[in-house]
């Protein structure tokens, strides 16, 4: 069996739930490209997808997306796979070369806090990438899971991003994510001091639970240069809260494909936290009362968004904005007052 293919249950979900919801043209604002050579010394979980695609550039992403989202035109905001020990230069070159083949796609460089401003600018000039992808594993914190924004992305990155109107896709650290007061203060301070940064909070600000979304999303929703992507969040109530509290024109569709969005499973809220319940770590998927395999995380994400959008009464304009227009305006157009 191929590592990635539509099973009968996937096909049913696509045809009966998602095909009418997902338009013909989509901009996926959160994807990851990789090459196994760049990950040779990195700490990451190898999977069937990596075995199927040891090199995963834009062509491979489109191939994978064509399986999951048949007959859809795809453009993307792509970044390398962040993992401790990754070859940052090789990963950035891979992303840059991939997106250079598509003027309607953009790429980001993996941001290591040890790089100086000069090194950061040299890498941007060499690759032509459109911004930064920091991650917890690169941070200077003693406990990377508890790192702050500035421990992932020091201030000189923000200065460069402001001067060049770059994108920053921020996967928040700390256990409470966007509900954490330190994260809230740093996001507000940095967004206000560097208003030409296009700051994207990944995974709705890492609001994988309704409780975190309710405590976190309203605190920064007023910042005009901050937007969110919806990738990997699977709780419908998070999207109800998002659509109630966040300006609709600053919400971008994203999948977290390849390795996360195309995994079979779901990100589920438990108590005050959340867990990735997936085939490789969950014996319950082999229980006799579950005769089918789980579907893709990207499908579970879209199902949750669809329910919330239906409650809000979305029409064609809202769909087009979410899947395409918002990304074009936020990520590609020059900022006003510049």
* Domain count across the chain: 1
Any idea which of 204-218, 240-254, 257-271 has the lowest mean pLDDT?
Answer: 257-271
- The whole-model pTM stands at 0.96
Q: Tell me how many degrees the CA angle 65-134-34 measures, rounded to the nearest 5.
A: 35
What is the residue-averaged pLDDT of the chain?
Answer: 94
> Is residue 269 assigned to a domain?
yes
Domain CATH number, residue 32: 3.20.20.140
Q: Which residue has the higher pLDDT, 278 or 284?
A: 278
Render pLDDT for 129-151 as a digit per residue (tens, 0 to 9): 999 999 999 999 999 999 999 99
**Domain extent for 311:** 8-331
Q: For residues 288, 293, 299 and 300, what is the CA-based torsion angle, rounded to 10 degrees?
A: 30
> Is residue 1 assigned to a domain?
no
Share of the chain above pLDDT 90, in %: 86
Three-state SS annotation for the chain: CCCCCCCHHHHHHHHHHHCCCCCCEEEEEEEEEEECCCCCCCCCCCCHHHHHCCEECHHHHHHHHHHHCCCCEEEEEEEECCCCCCCHHHHHHHHHHHHCCCCCCEEEEECCCCCCHHHHHHHHHHHCCCEEECCHHHCCCCCHHHCCHHHHCCHHHHHHHHHHCCEEEECCCCCCHHHCHHHHHHHHHHHHHCCCCEEEEHHHHHCCCHHHHHHHHHHHCCCCCEEEECCCCCCHHHHHHHHHHCCHHHEECCCCECCCCCCEEEEEEECCEEEEEEHHHCHHHHCCCCCCCCCEHHHHHHHHHHHHHHHHCCCHHHHHHHHHHHHHHHHHCCCCCC
Flag whether pLDDT at 326 surpasses 90.
yes
Calpha distance 314→223 (Å, rounded) = 24
> Is residue 2 assigned to a domain?
no
Which residue, 270, 263, 252, 272, is CA-closest to 199?
252
Calpha distance 308→149 (Å, rounded) = 30
Q: Which residue has the higher pLDDT, 44 or 27?
A: 27
Q: Which residue has the higher pLDDT, 3 or 71?
A: 71
Calpha distance 87→35 (Å, rounded) = 10
Give the pLDDT band (50/70/90) at residue 247: very high
- Angle between helical axes of 117-127 and 88-99 (0-180°, round to 10): 30
Render pLDDT for 279-305 as a digit per residue (tens, 0 to 9): 888 877 777 787 888 999 999 999 999
Give the pLDDT band (50/70/90) at residue 201: very high
* pLDDT value, residue 287: 74
Flag whether pLDDT at 338 surpasses 60.
no
Flag whether pLDDT at 245 surpasses 80.
yes
* pLDDT value, residue 7: 94
Render pLDDT for 211-237 as a digit per residue (tens, 0 to 9): 999 999 999 999 999 999 999 999 999
> Is residue 136 assigned to a domain?
yes
- Give per-residue burial for 183-217: e unless 16+ CB within 10 Å, then b: bbebbeebbeebebbbbbbbbbbbbbbbbbbbbbb
* pLDDT value, residue 1: 39
* pLDDT value, residue 42: 84
Render pLDDT for 177-198 as a digit per residue (tens, 0 to 9): 999 999 999 999 999 999 999 9
- The residue whose two tokens read 């399986």 is 67
Tokens coding 87: 């070859």
Render pLDDT for 114-123 as a digit per residue (tens, 0 to 9): 999 999 999 9
> Is residue 337 assigned to a domain?
no
Phi, psi dihedrals of residue 244, rounded to the nearest 5°: -80, -25
> Is residue 102 assigned to a domain?
yes
Mean of pLDDT values over 163-185: 98
Calpha distance 232→301 (Å, rounded) = 6
Decide the pairing of beta strands 273-278 and 265-270: antiparallel
Flag whether pLDDT at 209 surpasses 60.
yes
Calpha distance 59→240 (Å, rounded) = 34
> Is residue 68 assigned to a domain?
yes
CA within 13 Å, CB half, 20 = 10
Flag whether pLDDT at 2 surpasses 60.
no
> Is residue 298 assigned to a domain?
yes
């Amino acid at each position: 069996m191929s590592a990635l293919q539509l099973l009968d249950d996937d096909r049913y979900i696509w045809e009966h739930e998602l095909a009418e919801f997902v338009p013909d043209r989509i901009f996926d604002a959160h994807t990851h490209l990789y090459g196994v050579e760049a990950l040779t010394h990195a700490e990451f979980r190898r999977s069937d997808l990596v075995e199927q695609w040891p090199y995963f550039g834009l062509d491979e992403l489109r191939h994978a997306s064509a399986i999951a989202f048949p007959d859809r035109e795809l453009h993307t905001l792509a970044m390398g796979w962040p993992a401790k020990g990754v070859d940052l230069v090789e990963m950035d070159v891979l992303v840059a070369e991939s997106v250079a083949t598509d003027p309607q796609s953009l790429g980001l460089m993996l941001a290591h806090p040890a790089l100086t401003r000069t090194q950061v600018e040299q890498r941007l000039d060499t690759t032509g990438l459109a911004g930064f992808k920091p991650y917890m594993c690169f941070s200077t914190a003693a406990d990377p899971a508890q790192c702050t924004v500035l421990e992932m992305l020091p201030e000189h990155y923000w200065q460069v991003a402001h001067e060049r109107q770059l994108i920053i896709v921020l996967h928040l650290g700390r256990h409470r994510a966007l509900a954490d007061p330190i994260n809230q203060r740093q996001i507000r301070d940095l967004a206000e001091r560097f208003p030409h940064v296009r700051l994207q909070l990944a995974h709705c600000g890492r609001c994988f639970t309704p409780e975190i979304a309710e405590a976190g999303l309203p605190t920064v929703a007023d910042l005009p240069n901050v937007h969110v992507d919806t990738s990997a969040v699977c709780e419908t109530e998070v999207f109800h809260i998002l659509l109630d509290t966040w300006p609709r024109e600053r919400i971008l569709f994203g999948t977290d494909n390849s390795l996360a969005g195309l995994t079979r499973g779901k990100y589920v809220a438990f108590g005050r936290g959340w867990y990735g319940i997936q085939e490789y770590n969950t014996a319950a998927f082999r229980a006799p009362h579950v005769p089918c395999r789980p579907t893709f995380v990207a499908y579970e994400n879209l199902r949750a968004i669809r329910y919330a959008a239906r409650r809000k009464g979305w029409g064609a304009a809202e769909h087009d904005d979410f899947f395409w227009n918002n990304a074009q305006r936020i990520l590609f157009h020059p900022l006003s007052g510049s």
